[in-house]
Chain A
Amino acid sequence: MTTTATTPTHPVLAGLGRLIRARETGIAIAIVAVVTLATVLNPSFLFSNDGFRDLLLTPSLLMVVAIGQAIVIITRNVDLSVGSVVGLTAYLTGTLFVQVPGLPIVVVFVAGIALGAVLGLINGALVAFAKVPALVITLGTMYIYRGINVAWTGSDRINASDMPASFRGLGTDTVLGLPVLTLLALVVLVYAAWHLRNLRSGRELYAIGSDPAAAQLYGLRVTRRVLAAFVVSGSAAGLAGVLYAARYGTVSSNAGFGWELEAIGAAVIGGVAIFGGVGTVWGAALGAFLLLTINRALPIIGVDDFWQRAVVGVLIIGAIVLDRIAAQRQHRRLVAQREETR
């Protein structure tokens, strides 16, 4: 027989306890540590003219992509095509400005997000209806999307001078000391986090990832939700593509190359379980922040070029091992809790 074993704690204390134990807190501490170390070794890392702005600006695009990726991973799927989607939408953005001078910036944003959504829909439809693992489907579309991009771009490329100054300004402007791009990423983050936590459609994503068969038995609309997750991931990558054009000014056919792996890495570092059902977009966003900040800090700390990628690898494997250990400990604790209350 089970009897209540929970000792009543004050809700504020309980909340505080959760916050301290949360994965997100650990990542945040790691970020602070990396930034502090880099700044001590080279004060210009944070205190130069652009230091603080770059610190926030660099990870902003990957954060948006990682948020979309996290949502897909939570449903026990994966989206390898996001890097190619970033490339396509970035090039679309530049092309639109070249072809239609004077086009309102809002229209370009809508077009980029819409293209991303369509590409995501293709992924989602193939995964949801063809019942082929997402890893295989999106591996295929990753190459297809990149191929289309290369065929479309050729040896051409978009230059900063092709785009209006007001658009490029988005890439560098700040409001109250915060870069506009970072604020945009934050808006996406806060909304996505709220949606995943508080709406049925958000919670069902966790349920589907936790046990797809059970989700079917519950009568959840699994197909529709998975489809939606891929559309969201595509749209996020589409938005990131538009922002890419604004931030870097030059867009060639390899824009966003390799971002899919960085986005997955960010999500995993941030505590999103690769088998679905667990994790938050906060974690994924912080993971992206940590990943890119470490990349920038390593040369300053004095780590050899050759080792920088290895450090990222260690970070990812470390995160997964940590997850594994934590999950096993939690499982044992939960079993023990049941045993002692029998």
Chain B
Amino acid sequence: MQSDTTSATPALELSRVVKSFGAVVALRSGSLRLHDGSIHALIGENGAGKSTLVKIIAGLYRRDGGEFRLRGEEVDFHSTAQSKANGIAVIYQEPTLFPDLSVVENIFMGRQPTGRLGRIDRAAMRAEATEIFERLGVSIDPDRPTDGLSIADQQIIEIAKAISLDASVLVMDEPTAALSGVEVDRLFSVARSLRDEGRALVFISHRFDEVFDLCDTVTVMRDGAHVDTMPIAETTVDDMVRMMVGRDVTEMFPKLPAEIGEEVLAVDGLTQPGVFHDVSFTVHAGEIVGLAGLVGAGRSEVARAVFGVDPYREGTVHVGGAPLPKGRPRAAMARGLALVPEDRRRQGLVLDLPVTRNITLAVRDRLARFGLIWGSRENESARVWASRLEVKTAALDTESGTLSGGNQQKVVLGKWLATDPKVLIVDEPTRGIDVGTKAEVHRLLSQLAQQGIAILMISSELPEVLGMADRVLVMREGRLTGEFKREQATPEAVMLAATADEEPAR
């Protein structure tokens, strides 16, 4: 633990940095002070401005205002090459490697050691890569292409890149999001050894246990601004959550009591080799079932298979007691199923169409008269849903693409609610939505459940799952690994089911 470094010149310092994109202010006042030999946690909700801050450090974005100092000297990076040359390495959540090139080439691309005539010294390159892997205690075949490597191994390659660069500042943006327990341990031991070598590390994570386990200092951000920075030893999870959210958790998750009725959706033994195995669960009317797990655990795939967008090889889906044919989304819709997809911009909305058209997209047939769709009927139908969901837009003929993330999500919800669904499957309903609108979406889901709709909610945000769900299902690597009633669902239990690496005997 480092406590006496506050007086020394920080390795990197950002103060009151501002960045906006057009009218949208992504960063109002971002501040961060990093010290050598320290692992600094940067936490905040999605949309709090962490990623924007990181991209400014990486040289991907240029700040509009504020100060950025590296070892006391003012800097202004125009490109990632500049930030690299200054010893800054950034590891993104999704590693960015060249799939066709070898591991070694990926590590050294752009700065390969060269000999006579500028010829790349392959032997030297390979030797250094091997040495770095040995030092990190991992063994990855340096000659294989990076295609097919796990995210964890790809991150190790990113770290090897940072080491070969002799980076003094290393930023890791949610590196653990897709890792299993063992892989997280390996990553952490590497991070600690880098800290002990005197480097400054930034660790972005949504998992508090990891933050407490690894970091010595924490900076909290909210709504594009710095909230507080303090030693990790002087804070608690509750403090951090309060600072991140800016309000009490109960307010965030307004769970309304709903009467749980009969079984509406029953999934039995759903299997698609390599994607998910033997997934069985039920959802009752008025019930919110949370589907938790890590990114890549196969949750969205199950949802898409149930709805009929993706195939499955074995298993059955029953809606209201009758079997649902596989691979037929139209049939699923006709039977009262609705799927609000994860990527609303690409899968949920037609961005170039106005709000009206988007809301009525799934009920076009019903609105048509003599085979033609009448604008007035469309507007009427859309207006009802837009006002019920409180979509904030000047006019309903606004292009959907110009709305904020939260309002876009409401439009997608409106589209499906217009079909009068019995079962609503929502995939990451609040991803990338600001805190205020998040609470609105939660309230809405709660109200829908109260009206007797069965809701299956996929979410990677644990507080959301725990706050909203009547029952929590957990998936890991394509299998259901846990089921908890609302009272039993503790963060620890759910996280363990989502990450535990030991396979139970079967």
A210 to B144, CA, bound (A): 15
The verdict on A216 contacting B149 (CB below 8 Å), with A3-B139, A206-B100, A210-B98 known, is no
The verdict on A207 contacting B141 (CB below 8 Å), with A199-B119, A214-B96, A338-B153 known, is no
The count of chain B contact residues (Cβ–Cβ below 8 Å) is 39
Q: Are A199 and B99 in contact (CB under 8 A)?
A: no
Q: Are B98 and A200 in contact (CB under 8 A)?
A: no
Residues in chain A near residue B321, CB distance under 8 A: none
Residues in chain B near residue A221, CB distance under 8 A: 81
- Main secondary structure, interface of A, reads helix
The verdict on A337 contacting B144 (CB below 8 Å), with A199-B119, A200-B114, A214-B98 known, is yes
Closest residue of chain B to A332, judged by CB?
A: B148
A218 to B99, CA, bound (A): 14
- Contact residue among A2, A5, A204, A331 (Cβ-Cβ distance under 8 Å from B138): A2
The reply to whether the CB of B227 lies closer than 8 angstroms to some CB of chain A is no
- Contact residue among B60, B112, B118, B147 (Cβ-Cβ distance under 8 Å from A217): B60
Q: Are B100 and A210 in contact (CB under 8 A)?
A: yes
Residues 34-78 of A contacting B (Cβ, < 8 Å): none
Residues in chain A near residue B150, CB distance under 8 A: 338
Residues in chain A near residue B368, CB distance under 8 A: none
Q: Are B100 and A219 in contact (CB under 8 A)?
A: no
A200 to B148, CA, bound (A): 25
Closest residue of chain B to A215, judged by CB?
A: B98
The reply to whether the CB of B80 lies closer than 8 angstroms to some CB of chain A is yes
Residues in chain A near residue B436, CB distance under 8 A: none
- Contact residue among B59, B97, B148, B182 (Cβ-Cβ distance under 8 Å from A1): B182
Q: Are A219 and B149 in contact (CB under 8 A)?
A: no
Q: Are B98 and A207 in contact (CB under 8 A)?
A: yes
Provide the B177-209 mask, 1 if CB < 8 A to any CB of A, else 0: 000001000100000000000000000000000
The reply to whether the CB of A335 lies closer than 8 angstroms to some CB of chain B is yes
A337 to B150, CA, bound (A): 11
Provide the B82-96 mask, 1 if CB < 8 A to any CB of A, else 0: 111000000010001
The reply to whether the CB of A155 lies closer than 8 angstroms to some CB of chain B is no
Min Cβ gap A204→B in Å is 6
A26 to B146, CA, bound (A): 25
Residues in chain B near residue A5, CB distance under 8 A: 141
A63 to B19, CA, bound (A): 51
Residues in chain B near residue A2, CB distance under 8 A: 138-140, 153
Footprint of B on A, CB under 8 Å? 1-6, 198-200, 203-204, 206-207, 209-211, 213-221, 273, 277-278, 330-331, 333-335, 337-338
* Further contacts, 6 of them, CB under 8 A, given A203-B105, A220-B110: A200-B114, A203-B109, A206-B98, A206-B101, A217-B92, A219-B80
